[in-house]
Amino acid sequence: MKQVDIASLKSLIAESNRIVTGMAAAEPQQFYSFLSEHSELIGDGKTLYCANPSRAYGCFQDEGFDQLQVVVMFLTSAVRKLSGKRVQYFPHHLSQWAGHLTKRGIDLFWGSCSLPDDRGFVSLGPSCCYESEVIARAKHVVLEVNPHIPMTYGSTTVRLEDVDYLVESHQELPEVQRASITETDEKIARHIAALIPDGATLQLGIGSIPNAIGKALADKQDLGIHTEMINDTMMDLYCDGVVTGRKKTRWPGKLVGSFAYGSRKLYDFIDKNPLVELHPASVVNDPYRLGKNHKMMSINTAVEIDITGQVCSESVGHRELSGVGGASETHIGAQRSPEGRGIIAMHARAKNGQSKIVFELQPGAKVSISRNDIDTVVTEFGVAQLKGMTVRERALALIDLAHPDVRAELLESCRKAGYI
């Protein structure tokens, strides 16, 4: 291992055709910024595999980078506008991302890490989603050593002898601001809270609905956390004594995730905290392991759902919006748990007023969760456990969850199709 100035790695960058970067709060900000200033390092055939950059760095959008192909595992607002040009979305389950990357061959992994300890180890900090698995297979490894990166436990430890170069960084970590909670969010949260028993283990996403759910769970006891992303809501539930993990049957007493993304307070919370463990998504999102948790509850959202139970959570028609992440894996895995449940929570209408419960998905819409795997759907108008229902029963149940303004239209469409 050598600690070097980033400028001395120009040749390594130029010679590496397949580069994988760390994700979320552990994204290599120095690398993205440096690459954005050196388009001459981009040659024909260079591909950058990344997750969810926190902002639109120049290398993703500036002139001079036309030859750089960017492959993303998740589309954010920062890169969504470039999708279909230089940025390509890679359909996959989150647990499979590291496997796909290693099969393609990795010339260079560039990520972030904590300061070394006195034993010669560094921590990957807030993200272990695929990084540790990729490091083990990459030809070259560069880490930006940053005092702001927390020291975390689980599978995040890396020996300095397995790192080729360290680059000094003092960048503050990207943060995610909490989404504001609406009255509709609170109604949905109350419905979901009624479904979650004491001692349940939770997987929650990010956004206003999960934030509202966190508040609605204030009177629960001994909840556990097993989720791909640990966020501020989960930290709050632990600090308030709602989450203890005592009833968990996998990693009892631990808050388990693949990465943590949120506020600086969250990063301080996970720093040197033995109650928090981060493991690769291939482990955390494995449906078999999820099913071994006590009363596993997976809660995700969706763009739209058709009247038979097909869920789209990643596109608006043909336009890629985000990515499936681990939604289908966790939804299915939770149902393998005794007394577990997979829940899709969403507003009955989108911001533009369109119904999110539709007779049929938009042309080009991607089916993220099949109707054969769907379990429970929740809107502000109630709860429908579609699992175990016929198509007719599902149609009637989902119509009741739709906004009153569209129920008659949905009912008529179902009658014409012979569903009812």
Q: How far apart are CA 165 and CA 178, in angstroms?
A: 35
Residue environment code for 80-92, b if the CB has 16+ CB neighbours within 10 A, otherwise e = bebbeebbebeeb
Which DSSP string do the residues of 47-100 spell out, in sequence order?
A: EEEES--SS--HHHHSTT-TT-EEEESS--HHHHTTBTTTEEE----GGGHHHH
Other CB atoms within 10 Å distance of the CB of residue 207: 18
> Which residue bears the tokens 């992994």?
109
- Number of separate helices (H) and strands (E) present in the chain: 15, 26
- Map residue 319 onto helix, strand or coil: strand
CB 107 within 8 A of CB 9: no
Q: Which of 228, 320, 329, 380 is catalytic?
A: 228
- Map residue 165 onto helix, strand or coil: strand
Q: How far apart are CA 199 and CA 150, in angstroms?
A: 29
> Which residue bears the tokens 């996970």?
270
Q: How far apart are CA 220 and CA 94, in angstroms?
A: 30
Q: Is 228 a catalytic residue?
A: yes
Catalytic site positions: 228
